[in-house]
A and B are shown apart, each in its own frame.
Chain A
């Protein structure tokens, strides 16, 4: 798949280039309003391109300059929508058979293949159930079977796990991974969940404000996020610094890590130490909140930081809002790397 997607809608514009090979799973991640859904709709043919060109498996699906637009029903695109959107008046097996019937397959054969598809997601025994009788996880599996049974060249998943509770999510995610590994076509997965993206995708494209701000395999992106959103997704705080040869300047605080030029510094909140009068630099406590098994302390700098400290430590230091404390970061616990593109700075600790 080669997708140069340019879409203008009201005040929003999307301009991204996405490439994916057959068998590859590309995850689109990004905050709300980043353009993920717009990109997905353009891929599925539900939204025509304003400019650019979309080709899947050698077939041009949308090319406004050349006057080409293949409507959704003629594309080999399988869509697994958010909230599954199973047709409420059809049973599970009829839902899966829908695409086959719409493409002209005779009923007995369509139903037989649909049943096989349901069996593939472990739901053959729920074939006659109506969507409202299915659990969220089951409905999502039926929606996946419905998309896969038509053997699409491009599978598009829109937040496939967002509507599920934590336990179901774990199960469906594992299953989904297995199905995606078997799937021969291109998969584009839209998600705002870091774990979904990291577990399911071969490659990530991070979208923000209609642009791709970072692209790479999950490990790369997670290790050196270029964007606050991604940093937050993977649990890091991202700082912007200036490399000054042997050390890095973080808003007036010197870190003993060699670097040159504009750099990004990714800090794990658990690597930030707090003390009343120890080493480090002065910061002000902005907020203290429970975070998993530890306590997350938001700090106003410069540099603004987030520290995860054990609850006992919070009591020991008597941490409270407005308090001045000293923060320290061990040089071996931070990642310093070049910023790919200078970008306007957003507030770090929201």
Chain B
């Protein structure tokens, strides 16, 4: 019998191709319209460097915070006898589905100068968070943390617990076992979660502009700069967009093993 490649049904083929076009064509347009010749000059502009540095810096700090706080939370969700575990997990996933602007408003109401915590904080220490780089980090952490927690929790659930049990019988306390067995076993999951968090933090717009504002050099990250430049200097906006696209591609390459590999 001759092996023939059967054509997929048109009802599925047509929308499928359309979907792919929808995903790819805008990026193609970005590349087509990029002011390639002016690019070196545009990227050398101080404002661009400033925004890029701020973006990379805050996203890196936010990712660090995500790992520092998210790994323990993931461990609690996956390993500890947590009361109301389902509720906790639902709460963790809220920022995933919440419009970031709402997150920004919520952060403002908590930590703003007249916020629930912000007002006593200012009264006691004189510190105000909104419209500072710290606020950018907080906003980014808020939206990126769920990615890390879910990735690491999944890795923890997938890890063979018998390794931890053997380590315990060998005399390892829970903390020692966590450091020497659990963490190395789930390291790929932590790395994937960190990359995802970084990508999410880097692209953060809504929560940042709401909670941290858009002050060049202080809180104006790349996405904000792009949005504002589109009004005044579209070429600069495109150049900045290209930079973010490049970073995204790098992130995708970092995740390649995990997501695009054929299982």
Q: Which residues of A contact B (CB under 8 A)?
A: 44-46, 71-75, 77-79, 81, 85, 87-89, 98-99, 102-103, 146-147, 150
Is B163 in contact with A77, judged by CB distance below 8 angstroms?
A: no
Query: Which listed residue, B160, B170, B174, touches A150 by the CB 8 Å rule?
Result: B170
Q: Hey, which chain B residues are within 8 Å of A99, CB to CB?
A: 170-172
Report B30-89 residues with CB < 8 Å from chain A CB.
none
Q: Closest residue of chain A to B162, judged by CB?
A: A85
Q: Is B166 within 8 A of A85, CB to CB?
A: yes
Q: Which listed residue, A46, A73, A85, A88, touches B171 by the CB 8 Å rule?
A: A73
The reply to whether A46 and B169 contact each other, CB–CB distance below 8 Å, is yes
Complex contacts, A150 vs chain B, CB 8 Å: 170-171
Known contacts: A98-B180, A102-B176. The answer to whether A72 contacts B169 by CB under 8 A is yes
Tell me the bound Cα distance from A75 to B168 in angstroms.
9
The distance in angstroms between the C-alpha atoms of A75 and B170, with both chains bound, is 9
Q: Across chains A and B, which 7 residue pairs bring their CB atoms closest together, nearest first?
A: A99-B170, A102-B172, A102-B171, A79-B169, A72-B168, A89-B184, A103-B171
> In the complex, which residues 171-210 of chain B have their Cβ closer than 8 Å to any Cβ of chain A?
171-174, 176-177, 180-181, 184-185
Is the beta-carbon distance between A72 and B184 smaller than 8 angstroms? no
Are B165 and A46 in contact, with the CB atoms below 8 A?
yes
**Contact flags B13-40 to A (C-beta < 8 A → 1, else 0):** 0000000000000000000000000000
In the complex, A89→B179 CA distance in Å? 12
Nearest-Cβ distance from residue A188 to partner chain B, whole angstroms = 13
Q: Which residues from chain B contact A88 at a C-beta distance below 8 Å?
A: 163, 185
- Known A-B contacts: A85-B162, A99-B170. Give 10 more (CB < 8 A): A45-B169, A46-B168, A73-B171, A73-B174, A81-B162, A89-B184, A98-B167, A98-B170, A102-B171, A150-B170
Closest chain B residue, CB of each to CB of A83: B162
Known: A98-B180, A102-B176. A87 touches B167 (CB 8 A): yes
CB contact between A98 and one of B160, B172, B174, B185 (< 8 Å): that residue:
B172
How far apart are the CA atoms of A225 and B161 in the complex, in Å? Answer: 37
What's the nearest-Cβ distance from chain A to residue B156, in Å? 16
Q: Which B-chain residue is minimally distant from A72 (CB atoms)?
A: B168
**In the complex the two chains form, is B172's CB within 8 Å of A85's CB?**
no
- Which of B163, B168, B171, B176 has a CB less than 8 Å from the CB of A87? B163
**Whole-angstrom distance from the CB of B169 to the nearest CB of chain A?**
4
CA distance A150 to B170 in the complex (A): 8
Contact B172 A75 (CB under 8 A): no
Contacting pair B169 A77 (CB below 8 A): yes
Nearest chain-B residue to A103 (Cβ)?
Answer: B171
Instruction: Considering the complex, give the chain A residue whose CB is closest to the CB of B172.
Output: A102
Determine the residue in chain A with the shortest Cβ distance to B184.
A89
> Which of chain A's residues have a CB closer than 8 A to the CB of B169?
44-46, 72-73, 75, 77-79
Contact A73 B165 (CB under 8 A): no
Which B residues lie within 8 Å of A77 (CB)? 169
Q: Which residues of B contact A78 (CB under 8 A)?
A: 169-170
Q: Provided the pairs A102-B170, A102-B171, A150-B170 are in contact, do residues A72 and B176 lie with their beta carbons within 8 angstroms?
A: no
Contact with A along B145-173 (1 / 0, CB 8 A): 00000000000000010110111111111
- Bound CA span A43–B167, Å: 15
Q: Are B167 and A102 in contact (CB under 8 A)?
A: yes
Question: In the complex, which residues of chain B have a beta carbon less than 8 angstroms from the beta carbon of A98?
Answer: 167, 170, 172, 180
Q: List 22 A-B contacts (CB under 8 A).
A: A44-B169, A46-B165, A73-B172, A73-B173, A73-B174, A75-B169, A77-B169, A78-B170, A79-B166, A79-B170, A81-B166, A85-B163, A85-B166, A87-B184, A98-B167, A98-B172, A99-B171, A99-B172, A102-B171, A103-B171, A146-B170, A150-B170
Q: Which residues of B have CB within 8 Å of A79?
A: 165-166, 169-170
CB distance from B15 to the nearest CB of A (A): 44
Q: How far is the CA of A147 from the CA of B169 in the complex (A)?
A: 9
In the bound assembly, the distance between CA atoms of A222 and B33 in angstroms comes to 85
In the docked arrangement, what's the CA distance between A183 and B167, Å? Answer: 21
CA distance A73 to B168 in the complex (A): 5
Closest-by-CB residue of B relative to A94 is: B180
Chain A's nearest CB lies how many Å from the CB of B182?
Answer: 11
Q: A70–B180 Cα gap in the complex (Å)?
A: 22
Complex contacts, A71 vs chain B, CB 8 Å: 168
Q: Given the complex of chains A and B, what is the CA–CA distance between A72 and B165 in angstroms?
A: 8
- Which chain A positions have C-beta within 8 A of B176? 73, 102
A78: nearest chain-B partner, CB-CB: B169
Q: Which residue of B lies closest to A79 (CB)?
A: B169
Q: Specify which chain A residues have a CB less than 8 angstroms from the CB of B181 in the assembled complex.
A: 87
Instruction: Provide the residues of chain B in CB contact with A87, threshold 8 Å.
Output: 163, 166-167, 180-181, 184
What separation, in Å, do the CA atoms of A102 and B176 have in the docked complex? 7
Q: How far is the CA of A83 from the CA of B160 in the complex (A)?
A: 12
Q: What is the CA–CA distance of A88 and B177 in the complex, to the nearest angstrom?
A: 14
Question: Measured between alpha carbons, how far is A293 from B160 in the docked complex, in Å?
Answer: 42
Residues in chain B near residue A85, CB distance under 8 A: 160, 162-163, 166
A103 to B185, CA, bound (A): 21
For the complex, give the distance between the alpha carbons of A103 and B180 in Å: 13
- List, in ascending order, chain B residues with CB within 8 A of A147's CB: 170
Q: In the assembly, what is the distance between CA of A85 and CA of B184, in Å?
A: 15
Kindly state the separation between the CA atoms of A87 and B184 in the bound complex, as whole angstroms: 10
For A105, the closest partner residue in chain B by CB is B171
Report how far A88 CA is from B164 CA in the complex, Å: 12
State the CA gap A10–B184 with chains docked (Å).
33
* Cβ–Cβ < 8 Å partners of B184 in chain A: 87, 89
Q: A84 → chain B, closest Cβ, in Å?
A: 9
